[in-house]
Amino acid sequence: MDSEYTDIIHRCFRCGWCKLPTTYQDFNCPAYLKYRFESFASGGRMWLIRAWINGEIEASERFNQILFSCVTCRNCVEACALPKIKDKLVDIFIAARQDLVDQGNIPPAVRDYLKAMTVNGNPYKMPQEQRGAWAEGLNIDRYEDQEYLFYAGDVGSYDELGMKMARSTARLLKSAGLSFGILAEEETSDGNDVRAAGEKGLADYLAQTNIETFNNKGVKKIITLSPHGYNAFRNEYPALGGQFEVYHYTQVLNSFLGDKIHTGRYEKKVAYHDPCYLGRWNQEYFAPRRILGSIPGLKLAEMDRNMNNALCCGGGGGNFFTDILGTGPDLSSRARVREALSTGAEVIAVACPQCYKMLDDAVKDEGVQDRIRVSDIAGIILESGMK
Amino acid sequence: MHELKFDPEICKSCTSCDCIMKCQYIDLESDQAKSEHAKLVAGEDSSILHDCVTCYACEEYCPFGNHPFYLIVERQEQRGVHPAPKPLEESQVIMMGPKGRIKPKELSPPVMNMCFFTVMNGGIRGSLFEGVSKFGGSDVFCNLMFLHFARNSTIRQRLPLMIENIMKNFLEPAGAKELICYHDECYGTYTSWAPAFGIDVPFKPVHLFDFIYNRLVELKENIKPLGIKVAYQRPCSNRLCPQTDHFVDDIFSLIGAERPKREFEYENALCCGGVPEAQQRFELTEEIQHKNVEDMKASGAAYCVFNCPFCFWTLSEPVLKAGLIPIMMSDLCLMALGE
Amino acid sequence: MDKITERLAEIVGKDYVSTSAEERFIYSRDQGVQQPHMPDYVVLPDNARQVQEIIHLANNDSIPVVPMGGGLVLSGLTIPLAGGIVLDMKRMNRILEVNESSHYAVVEAGTSQGMLDAYLKKHHPRLKHSLPDAPPAATIAGNIAIHGSGHLSQSEGGFHSEMVTGLEVVLGSGEMVKLGSCSTVPGWFSRAPLPDLAGLFLGWNGTTGVITKVGIKLFPRPRFHDVLIYMTEDIDIAPDILFRIIETEVAEDINYALSPKPDYLNGFQMIVINLVANTEIELNMKKKIIRDALYDYYKTKESGFMPLPPAMKGDFLEAPQKALSKFADVKKGGGFEYVGAIMPVEKIPDACREGVRITDRYGITYSLGARIIGRGHSAMFFFAYPFNRADTQDIEKVSHALEDTNAAALKLGGIPWKTEVSGQKLILEQMEPQTSSLMMKIKSLLDPNGIMNPGNWEVK
């Protein structure tokens, strides 16, 4: 591990601020919420990584479970009391995973995920040719020299709900008259979650492939469906030579409201769930809220834990694909659904295809389909009936 | 070394004693004022030494530029009068002292000294400050605040080193001849205190408002007039450079801010209250703040604009409670620029 | 899986029992300098019934049981000195009842300070409980079990253990009992007029039983809050200044602090006075009352109030205070230790001098201070020493300083608080023999097989 990390790892006091949001309502670390052993909180993880580096413990199956159950949601970064180490917490966890990946010592689910990413280029083991299938019938042009590239990403390309979300978004962009195109089968995974899972080499390769494609095609501006891709393009690609103007789709839609997009009414109470990779990772808390707030009839509810204190859906850091957190009532996605219900909301609005799927599953697991449902922001605009 | 250039003969022949008679905090009849002031000049104990709130205003009131305030500070120090509690004073001396921790920095003109207020670095942004290089911290700090603590000696001792640090580490490497002073306490130091004590200043200090005004002239086309009424909290240090006070009106006219007529402004400006509080004069502090803020409110101002960050921190809460929005001048200008 | 593990898994579910090296490592130590000792099992119960079953099992098989809340004592009280089971109570974190009129809450033992605070803010915004200076992950039950104190201990009647209105406890022998009014009538409003049996579990460090529910006093949460800081260089005037502030009866919290860092505060003592009020007029009046009480002092300019612009008050108005956790990073090493000593108020100056002497002896740095408890009935003095976790010599120095400080606190006439085993020994040695003998008799009655947190509060 880099000395930047090994030099500070002993500075964690394991004081436990990291378990809670800065407003203290309940445990806000998905791994700790699920497992409840001190070892699964960020402090415990810091101390165990240090013990591993010092040779006091070995990288057992349990150790791997502890490391790979971190969903990289950065709640601990927000809450940590120590300004000199807080920003590095998640980086340290990812670096430790990277060491485990390099040693080939990883949980089977992570191995399968990374293998699929290497062999198939996507976690679904689906053919590359089907990457553009989500856009069928929408009459969307391939990217040539349009102003924007709309990037759907793995989940937007292959997951049923993700595809639905990609279609809604693309329809809105089209109806706003935006000049954009898609890459379809020429699109490569953004590599964000591969990097978070500790496979830096593959993440770099995927990034370089994308950068090459984007540059060859003269892409300057990108709109991403997923906050995960948004994060990779915005924060990882520049260091690898990829300089693009990057927008999350909610930022673009927000700028169109009242001008190029006129919504209808939406008579429902809606709780917005902040995706970690849009919120805590990139400090975009307001574009989605402005959209929802501007829809006539829509009552925007805030969950107790919101914005920088939002509880993660549990799908970050690769867990969406590896499912290390497993099942049970203490899954953060299920806790989040209960929290949304307590606001009286009938709809949970999401801005990330991973959150969409995680929370949609959780609504079913909680058995509350009759009381609440999940919808993405583009879908809500469409449902409101465009003018 | 570095003696105060004060001429007792001027005071002897002065008939108005404006330095005391115009003071907003010391209430003496003309005869009393003259006799108390004479004691001060003679180095004897005087009520002025104990009652002075150290607002610097008499530096502006004296028609002869004979440095009445610097004299008060000299005499307070000579007679061991501590305007503020000693532990507070001693702790400030340590806190604000040079640390010898200058980090080399590549700068190019225009260059700005943030004084001790590097915490305000974020405010130096946008087109208003485009291309401005800045530095700051305890090794380039004017130390003029020790006027409030009866410690001319501290300024005397530290200022030459500060000037040397500024020149050697920042201005010379950047090839800059001018220094924009973020805080007008620095500007007052270089244009008033230093000459009064015979300390040479090898660069040309530029007042922040002077810089802002000229920048706004360049950016005139981007300005959207604000059309708001704004009260101005003039800080104590501006009393040392009253010749710069017109920039407030000049800037206001550029950004379309109206300065409503007030009782306590220009020469009659009131202290923010921070210093009397440090002097443990709590009722006076409340009274001054109340008068000041009520006056702002009565003028119909919607905003209160600040020059000094310390005034801003001290007065923001009372200003907000009165329903006005506190704002730094640079932010007000950025607002007019739509940034 | 061994038989015990299997049986524990039957009780709490297999996901909530661990014998893995990782959990054993983490639960073998706390953040302080005490030597680690491995548990054999880490168990996370969900309810009191499960706790009872675990205690029965432990009695049958003579397995030590160490109950743990936030695990933040720093003095090793949750380190399983004889192995066995560490019972991490934090799954039991339900807030069961809040009675607004009678000002109490009933919570499960693993409920954290932060969670109760957030719950009250949302559902009962007119009420609050006394928050310790510990991080918000500390638990209500853990804190009362060690006689913790907090930000209402000065104004609202003392240590948090004195704010307990009732307990539910599983004894070391396995019986589950309720103590206080809740043992007789439905409400958890008081420990009186019954014999005060709750004391059998307060300050015992989990050696008599496992607390499973706590009734805790709530207090009004006034809307306005402000802070004054009084600064002096003269240690000896501190008790009188404190007396004058206490005498005004208007200070919510009064803390005294002395630290060599940052440099500009070295040698200066700060008395931090927190005030609350329901109206601004009341708040201003309280500030005036406090200032007037110290007029004789500040008029000499030898000491005085620090001017505090609102932006600089933030840290002092926060509860719990992040600043205290940050102290762990003073030596860039993620750790600090402290002796908390419950002391007579007049001993504060001597305790400060002793703290400085001890730290000089070992070449370590410090933060010293005290919170006034119960309107001047005692002070919770702290001698805190940060250390670098990666520097074994530093840790050793702090360990020695800790031992010296425990001895010094006793010599000064104070009593080390929630002290580590070596400190407990010092106390027991100095205790009236009849008292320690009574303690042991009570303990053997409640925990006949000696399974509860063995090593603690033992006379050997």
CA C194 to chain centre: 26
Out of A17, A63, A84, the one facing C22 most closely (by C-beta) is: A63
Q: Say if B1 falls within a structural domain.
A: no
A277 has a pLDDT exceeding 70: yes
Same domain, C340 and C262: no
Q: Say if A115 falls within a structural domain.
A: no
End residue of a domain, out of A200, A222, A255: A255
Kindly indicate the confidence band of residue B104, based on its pLDDT and cuts at 50, 70 and 90: confident
End residue of a domain, out of A216, A237, A255: A255
C23: domain CATH number is 3.30.43.10
CB contact under 8 A, B277 and C262: no
A321: domain CATH number is 3.40.50.10700
End residue of a domain, out of B150, B179, B212: B212
CB contact under 8 A, B280 and C299: yes
Out of A15, A38, A57, the one facing C21 most closely (by C-beta) is: A57
Nearest CA in chain C to B274: C307
**Considering the entire predicted model, what is its pTM?**
0.94
Q: What are phi and psi of C266, to 5 degrees?
A: -60, 125
Q: Say if C48 falls within a structural domain.
A: yes
Per-residue pLDDT averaged across B138-143, rounded? Answer: 96
Same domain, A251 and A138: yes
User: Which residues of chain A neighbour C314 with C-beta distances below 8 Å?
Assistant: none
Question: What is the domain extent for residue A364?
Answer: 262-383
Neighbours of A, requiring at least 3 CB pairs below 8 Å, are C
Per-residue pLDDT averaged across A207-235, rounded? Answer: 98
Contact present, A194 and A203 (Cβ < 8 Å): yes
Q: Is residue C30 helix, strand or coil?
A: coil
Q: Report which DSSP code applies to A122.
A: S
| Chain C touched by A14 (CB under 8 Å) | yes
Same domain, B208 and B91: yes
Express as a percent the part of chain C with pLDDT over 90.
Answer: 93
Q: Say if C237 falls within a structural domain.
A: yes
Distance (Å, whole) CA C25 – CA A173:
54
Out of C231, C287, C312, the one facing B88 most closely (by C-beta) is: C231
Express as a percent the part of chain C with pLDDT over 70.
Answer: 100
Contact present, B55 and B271 (Cβ < 8 Å): yes
Distance (Å, whole) CA C439 – CA C441:
5
Q: Say if C426 falls within a structural domain.
A: no
Interface of A with C in 112-131 (CB under 8 A): none
Query: From residue A60, how far is each of A54, A57, A323, B281, C122 by CA, in Å?
Result: 15, 8, 19, 66, 42
End residue of a domain, out of C190, C220, C250: C220
Q: Say if C257 falls within a structural domain.
A: yes
- Suggest the residue from B54, B91, B289 to mutate for an interface test with chain C (most C CBs closer than 10 A): B91
Q: What is the pLDDT of residues B156-200, one digit of tens each?
A: 999 999 999 999 999 999 999 999 999 999 999 999 999 999 999
Q: Say if A116 falls within a structural domain.
A: no
Tokens of B273: 């209250």
End residue of a domain, out of A206, A221, A255: A255
Neighbours of C, requiring at least 3 CB pairs below 8 Å, are A, B
Same domain, C375 and C403: yes
Q: Say if B2 falls within a structural domain.
A: no
Kindly indicate the confidence band of residue B106, based on its pLDDT and cuts at 50, 70 and 90: confident
B46 has a pLDDT exceeding 70: yes
Q: Say if A307 falls within a structural domain.
A: yes
Same domain, B228 and B330: yes
Contact present, C372 and C246 (Cβ < 8 Å): yes
**Touch between A and B (at least 3 CB pairs under 8 Å):** no
Same domain, A238 and A267: no
Q: What is the pLDDT of residues A132-188, one digit of tens each?
A: 999 999 999 999 999 999 999 999 999 999 999 999 999 999 999 999 999 999 999
Same domain, A89 and A168: no
Q: Say if A173 falls within a structural domain.
A: yes
Contact present, C44 and C66 (Cβ < 8 Å): no
Using alpha carbons, select from B215, B130, B201 the residue that is nearest to residue B171: B201
Same domain, A268 and A249: no
CB contact under 8 A, B87 and C309: no
Same domain, C126 and C213: yes
Same domain, A36 and A83: yes
B190: domain CATH number is 1.20.1050
CB contact under 8 A, B280 and C298: yes
- Total domains in chain C come to 4
Same domain, A304 and A234: no
A210 has a pLDDT exceeding 70: yes
Q: Say if C447 falls within a structural domain.
A: no
Residue C373: strand pairing partners: C378
Tokens of C349: 């100056």
Question: What is the domain extent for residue B97?
Answer: 87-212
Same domain, B118 and B61: no
Same domain, B112 and B202: yes
End residue of a domain, out of B178, B212, B246: B212
Contact present, C235 and C196 (Cβ < 8 Å): no
Q: Say if A32 falls within a structural domain.
A: yes
Q: Say if B279 falls within a structural domain.
A: yes
Nearest CA in chain C to A326: C15
Same domain, C135 and C157: yes
Using alpha carbons, select from C404, C383, C398 the residue that is nearest to residue C258: C383
C113: domain CATH number is 3.30.465.10
Same domain, C110 and C160: yes
A387 has a pLDDT exceeding 80: no
Same domain, C67 and C98: no
Per-residue pLDDT averaged across B1-12, rounded? Answer: 92
Same domain, C131 and C24: no
Q: What is the pLDDT of residues C102-158, one digit of tens each?
A: 999 999 999 999 999 999 999 999 999 999 999 999 999 999 999 999 999 999 989
ipTM of the complex: 0.97
Same domain, C193 and C279: no
Same domain, C112 and C207: yes
Per-residue pLDDT averaged across A316-343, rounded? Answer: 97
Same domain, A147 and A238: yes
Same domain, B238 and B141: no
Express as a percent the part of chain B with pLDDT over 90.
Answer: 97
End residue of a domain, out of C183, C202, C220: C220
Out of C264, C288, C298, the one facing B85 most closely (by C-beta) is: C298
Question: What is the domain extent for residue C177?
Answer: 92-220
C355 has a pLDDT exceeding 80: yes
Same domain, C157 and C189: yes
Same domain, A73 and A196: no
The chain B residues in contact with chain C (CB within 8 A) are: 82, 84-88, 90-92, 94-95, 274, 277-278, 280, 282, 310, 313-314, 316-317
C301 Cα to chain B: minimum distance (Å): 4
Per-residue pLDDT averaged across C340-363, rounded? Answer: 96
Kindly indicate the confidence band of residue C314, based on its pLDDT and cuts at 50, 70 and 90: confident
Contact present, A275 and A355 (Cβ < 8 Å): yes
Kindly indicate the confidence band of residue C460, based on its pLDDT and cuts at 50, 70 and 90: low
Nearest CA in chain C to A13: C334
Out of C232, C287, C291, the one facing B87 most closely (by C-beta) is: C232
End residue of a domain, out of C181, C202, C220: C220
C311 has a pLDDT exceeding 80: no
Give me the count of residues in chain C: 460
Same domain, B110 and B179: yes
Nearest CA in chain A to C20: A62
A202: domain CATH number is 3.40.50
End residue of a domain, out of B182, B212, B242: B212
Same domain, C356 and C299: no
Q: Say if B278 falls within a structural domain.
A: yes
Q: Say if C443 falls within a structural domain.
A: no
Q: Say if B122 falls within a structural domain.
A: yes
- Total domains in chain B come to 3
B245: domain CATH number is 3.40.50.11810
Same domain, A132 and A249: yes
Per-residue pLDDT averaged across A222-241, rounded? Answer: 98
Same domain, C408 and C388: yes
Q: Say if A111 falls within a structural domain.
A: no
Same domain, A313 and A204: no
CA dihedral C97, C101, C102, C104 (to 10 degrees): 40
Average pLDDT, chain A: 97
Kindly indicate the confidence band of residue B2, based on its pLDDT and cuts at 50, 70 and 90: confident
* pLDDT for residue B103: 85
* pLDDT for residue A335: 98
- Total domains in chain A come to 3
CB contact under 8 A, B313 and C310: yes
**Nearest-5° Cα angle at A135, A131 to A139:** 135
Burial profile C221-259: b = 16 or more Cβ within 10 angstroms, e = fewer: bbeebbbbbbbbeebeebbebbebbbebebbbbbbbbbb
Contact present, C398 and C337 (Cβ < 8 Å): yes
CB contact under 8 A, C265 and B91: yes
Kindly indicate the confidence band of residue A319, based on its pLDDT and cuts at 50, 70 and 90: very high
Same domain, A369 and A322: yes
Average pLDDT, chain C: 96
Same domain, B235 and B290: yes
CB contact under 8 A, B313 and C232: no
Q: Say if C449 falls within a structural domain.
A: no
Q: Say if A113 falls within a structural domain.
A: no
C253: domain CATH number is 3.30.70.380
